[in-house]
Structure 1
Amino acid sequence: MKAAVNHQFKGQLEIQDIDVPEITSNDVLVKIHACGVCHTDLHACHGDWPVKPKMPLVPGHEGVGEVVKIGANITHLKLGDRVGIPWLYSACGQCDYCLSGDENLCLSQQNSGYSVDGSYAEYCKANGNYVIKIPDNLSYIDAAPLFCAGVTTYKALKVSDAKPGNWVAIFGIGGLGHLAVQYAIAMGLKVVAIDTGEDKLNLAKSLGASLCLDFKTDDVVSQVLEHTNGVHASICTAVSKSGFEQSYQVIRRGGKCVLVGLPPEEMPLPIFDTVLNGVSVVGSIVGTRKDLIECLDFAAQGKVKAITIEKSLDDINAIFDDMQNAEITGRVVMKL
């Protein structure tokens, strides 16, 4: 089968012919029809994070396609089912985190396109208990980005505990943020969107944001505080230290700052203000199978739609170059 393979950190991916994976009793084999490209894939191929991925590696954790083989222990799927293979490839199912509904925190989890080969390939092996069915009225192209970017932003909004009618600030209106705005609106929240440039701010406004601010030209903190009296929650998908600092500064007393992006710098936390104002600062990492089912349902109802750019697997190195240069609006999805 055709696949994009990374052999060394910071090297070019090679389009190769490799063997179709063999499945075992708990697995399924999925014929991949489309796969989204996530910034995490770039981090994996560059070895940027403390826990390194397997190498050589077939990246990809937004793969969607058709089940073509099923292991003996998998009884809830049938041949031809349309499914996606998310970042959470599998979890142990027995630890405190798994048993309490926090399987995305399982210390024994495997991750698609990181610790196991992913879906930058014509076929991908997956744990049959962790693939998620795609609603019938969602195309493969529309579904693919939701298996990471969608569920990540949806989960962050759930973690924020914001209620309908509350204000939420979304920092960064890129591949994650443009979905966060849509999920927030669908959940009945009022949105402040922060990014830079007319294109990003016009996009946020068209998606329903009530207030759109440019962090390069606007006094973001004072304007947000004046307009909202402080937001109930902020979701920071940005990867800059200043973005994280502003996401903290716009929170009202008792509010919650949810960190999603992964900047290389550390963010100093003002302990006195955090205690005095009763502010919570939390991290949010992707989501569970239940979160993913819910986030797909919003899209199936027509309330959320990723902005996608269609490419092919052969374009992957050029896609990574564009990603590094911040030249992508929305999400790239490769058709296979």
Structure 2
Amino acid sequence: MTVPTKIDTWQMVEPGKLVETSIDVPALQEGEVLVEIAGCGVCHTDVGYYFDGVPTVTKPPLTLGHEISGVVVDGVGDYAKSLIGKEVIIPAVMPCNNCDICASGRGNRCLKQKMPGNSLGIYGGFSSHIPVPAADLCVVEDRKDFSLETLSVVADAITSPYQAAMKAELKEGDLVVVTGATGGIGVYMTQIASVLGAKQVVAIARNKEKLQRSLDFGATYAISTLDKSVKDVAAEFKAYCKENKLPSAGWKIFECTGSKAGQEIALAILSFVGRMMVVGYGMQKVDYMLSKLMAFDAEIMGTWGCLPKYYPEVMKYVLDEKIKVKPFVEFRPMSQIEQAFQESHAGKLTKRIVLTPDF
């Protein structure tokens, strides 16, 4: 294994400005490894940091990117050294495993967590290498016919909706709605709901063509929001329930858009003993009468990242192709990062871009 002295990287020196540069490989501490990056997915969160001024924990300059797969090339400590040569997925959020929140079983929201491209110092996935804690890496022992760069999206796009499903206690026979079902997270949320045994998975999104595709990937019914008000979409949902003798109560709603419209639709559908999971992130504010939650005995819950313990479960679903990944990713050289960000921000993409190092 070649251990470099420099990391080639695309740094965000300020929101809206990227610079190709190189930085020193830091001295690894006990329990840390250096990973040679195979691929890093372009997530909506990265685009938010870059274009919308969403603040990162580490102030610029820093490298963005948190959907990372690669190969361990160096390590300090017995366990870290045992990983040298292993192919790994780096969890998007890595808990400290030594605080009250972690002890409570909710380490995915550990306040000391390390997230590449946000709170792991200046280090992120749009680089040649990255130093990370070794403890929670997901080792890929046999990736079958998947390329390692394909599996990078497991680190967030697939595991985050899986965490949402776990927190929602999604089980066989459940009734599920996914708003933003055709987006980078939504395409996996519908599949996960189906794999876990949901009786109904209603996909809601704007693009009719993509919605039609969702019926092949977990959705049982699709509602387009194109040229419809929030009230229109809610009425169509209620009509579907009535026509198919389904209750309008008790649905588990996964809001994956992070947009004001998506959140308003999810809230309009939320009814008696329902549960709404806020999966997508956005800066908009939404008006809602909280007393409805009391009257409905309903819940609205946030969900962040994914516990590392769930990664092996998700990897099994992916490698067994129960959760389909290949139709939803495309690959570009990392030198096209600015164009990839622009296209993602414009909402023009039909697949998630995975950038591969070409320094």
Question: Could you tell me which residue of structure 1 aligns to residue 279 of structure 2?
Answer: 260
Structure-2 residue corresponding to 1:225: 238
Q: 2:216 aligns with which of 190, 200, 206?
A: 206
Contact 2:74 2:81 in 1 (8 A): no
Measured after TM superposition, the shift of residue 75 of structure 1 is 5.2
1:322 aligns to what? 343
Instruction: State the 1:46 CA deviation.
Output: 4.4
Q: Give the CA deviation at 1:73.
A: 4.5
Q: Any conservation in 2 of the 1:134–1:143 contact (CA below 8 Å)?
A: no
Q: CA 1:2/1:99 → structure 2, altered by over 3 Å: closer, same or farther?
A: same
Question: Out of 160, 172, 176, which is 1:164 matched to?
Answer: 172
CA–CA separation in structure 2 for the residues paired with 1:17 and 1:175: 30
Taking the TM superposition and a 5 Å limit, the aligned residue runs for 1:37-56 are: 37-46=42-51, 48-50=53-55, 52-56=57-61
Q: Deviations over 1:62-88 (max 9, x none)?
A: 111111112124258432111122221
Kindly report which structure 2 residues correspond to 1:270-285, keeping only aligned pairs within 5 A, or say none: 270-285=289-304
Residues 133-152 of structure 1: CA distance to partner in whole angstroms, max 9, x if unpaired?
Answer: 12512431331111011111
Q: 1:75 to 1:324 in 2, by over 3 A?
A: closer
Which residue matches 2:98? 94
**Structure 2 Cα separation of the partners of residues 51 and 118 of structure 1:** 12
* Counterpart residue number, 1:148: 156
Return the letter of the residue paired with 1:8.
E
- Partner amino acid for 1:194? I
Instruction: State how far apart, in whole Å, the 1-side matches of 2:109 and 2:82 are.
Output: 26
Q: Figure out how many residues of one structure are paired with residues of the other and give that number.
A: 334
> Which stretch shows the higher mean deviation, 299-308 or 281-290?
299-308
8 Å contact kept, 1:64–1:83: yes
Matching residue's letter, 2:276: C
Matched, 1:130 2:102: no
> After superposition, what is the alpha-carbon deviation per residue over 1:290-334, rounded to whole angstroms, capped at 9, x for unaligned?
122222221122111221011110010000100110011231111
Instruction: Indicate yes or no: 2:73 matched with 1:68.
Output: yes
Structure 2: runs of 5 or more not aligned: 1-6, 242-246
User: What is the CA–CA distance in structure 2 between the aligned matches of 1:154 and 1:135, rounded to whole Å?
Assistant: 21
Q: Deviations over 1:110-159 (max 9, x none)?
A: 21111221121111111011221125124313311110111111111122
TM-score when normalising by structure 2: 0.88
- When residues 223 and 46 of structure 1 are mapped into structure 2, their CA distance, relative to the original with a 3 A threshold, is closer
Question: Matched residues in 2 for 1:21 and 1:50: separation?
Answer: 24
In structure 2, the residue matched to 1:18 is 23
Q: Distance in 1 between matches of 2:119 and 2:51?
A: 14
* SS of alignment partner, residue 274 of structure 2: strand
In structure 1, the gaps of 5 or more residues are none
